[in-house]
């Protein structure tokens, strides 16, 4: 039995950041938000998470943001959404 995470921290970072060179992605984030499971499935087919102005469909196995709304709009051009790394795992 697998249980899906109930919470993720999403980082919105500039899209041009390709190599963090050991830096913590949170240090480069323009916005950080904690989203919590809603119990719904999004249009992408993945679980829906919501919080702090973000609404995201997240694949909990790969920790990939599959769909995202920021304050009700699509993610701005030049920004990338990523799940914050799990520290201490």
Q: For 30-71, list the strands marked E by DSSP.
A: 31-41, 47-51, 54-59, 64-70
Class of residue 63 by CB neighbours under 10 A (exposed 0-12, middle 13-18, buried 19+): middle
Q: Rounded to an integer, what is the distance from CA 47 to the centroid of its chain? A: 12
The two structure tokens encoding residue 10: 């999403």
> How sure is the predictor about 19, in pLDDT bands with cuts at 50, 70 and 90?
low
**Contact in structure between 29 and 11 (CB atoms under 8 Å):** yes
**Contact in structure between 6 and 37 (CB atoms under 8 Å):** yes
- Per-residue pLDDT tens digits for 20-55: 666 777 888 999 999 999 999 999 999 999 999 999
Q: Please tell me the predicted confidence (pLDDT) of residue 18.
A: 62
- Per-residue pLDDT tens digits for 64-86: 999 999 999 999 999 999 999 88
What are residue 67's DSSP bridge partners? 57
Measured distance CA(84)–CA(12) in Å, rounded: 10
């Amino acid at each position: 039995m697998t249980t899906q995470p109930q919470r993720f921290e999403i980082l919105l970072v500039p899209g041009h950041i390709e190599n963090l060179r050991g830096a913590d992605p949170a240090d480069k984030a323009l916005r950080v938000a904690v989203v919590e499971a809603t119990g719904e499935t999004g249009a992408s087919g993945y679980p829906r998470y919501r919080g702090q102005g973000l609404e995201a469909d997240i694949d909990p196995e790969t920790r990939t943001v599959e769909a995202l709304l920021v304050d009700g709009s699509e993610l701005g051009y030049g920004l990338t959404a990523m799940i914050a790394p799990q520290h201490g795992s």
